[in-house]
């Protein structure tokens, strides 16, 4: 049971970190892309990708692994919620690979394109919502723990 509690707490911390980060990116960072210099946008976009990857890669991989382990090992009530949390991570990864990464790759190769920017901001709402729901569900699961 101790391992499950640790996995749940780590999972929740990762989800809450990523939820805060994605809201910042969605509300502050991505909307400001159109203010970057068009002459230096490719350099800006490449630097953004490098720095963002250094911040999100480890937490996203850890979140995926912890969520999977938790779903497989969970044996108490709330199993459906635990699996739903895992499926939300899978959805986040799908959106990242299918929408976000291709948009950033386009910025890094051709520079700023208004349609790509709008697409990125719009599709990122899906990730923002998925992470927010996930963080909330993990809070519910944590609130159900009984400590003796």
- Two structure tokens written together for 83: 């699996």
The reported pLDDT for the residue numbered 148 is 43
Measured distance CA(2)–CA(112) in Å, rounded: 49
Residues of the chain with pLDDT under 70: 1, 147-148
The reported pLDDT for the residue numbered 136 is 98
The reported pLDDT for the residue numbered 28 is 97
Phi, psi of 100 (to 5 degrees): -70, -50
The reported pLDDT for the residue numbered 71 is 96
Measured distance CA(35)–CA(23) in Å, rounded: 19
Measured distance CA(83)–CA(68) in Å, rounded: 8
- Summarised one tens digit per residue, pLDDT across range 94-136 is 999 999 999 999 999 999 999 999 999 999 999 999 999 999 9
C-alpha closest to that of 82 among 3, 6, 8: 8
Q: What angle do CA 80, 84, 86 make, to 5 degrees?
A: 120
- Two structure tokens written together for 146: 């009984």
Give the dihedral sign, CA 131/137/140/144: negative
The reported pLDDT for the residue numbered 1 is 67
CA distances (Å), 45 to each of 61, 91, 113, in order?
23, 25, 12
Measured distance CA(124)–CA(97) in Å, rounded: 12
């Amino acid at each position: 049971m101790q391992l499950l509690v640790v996995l749940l707490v780590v999972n929740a911390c990762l989800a809450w970190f990523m939820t805060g980060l994605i809201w910042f990116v969605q509300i502050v960072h991505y909307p400001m892309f159109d203010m970057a210099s068009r002459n230096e946008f490719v350099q800006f976009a490449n630097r953004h990708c490098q720095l963002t990857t250094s911040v999100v890669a480890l937490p996203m991989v850890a979140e995926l692994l912890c969520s999977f382990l938790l779903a497989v090992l969970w044996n108490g009530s709330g199993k459906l919620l635990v699996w739903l949390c895992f499926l939300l991570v899978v959805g986040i990864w799908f959106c990242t690979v299918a929408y976000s990464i291709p948009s950033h790759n386009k910025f890094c190769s051709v520079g700023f394109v208004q349609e790509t920017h709008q697409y990125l901001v719009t599709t990122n709402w899906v990730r923002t919502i998925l992470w927010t729901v996930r963080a909330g569900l993990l809070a519910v699961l944590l609130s159900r723990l009984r400590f003796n």
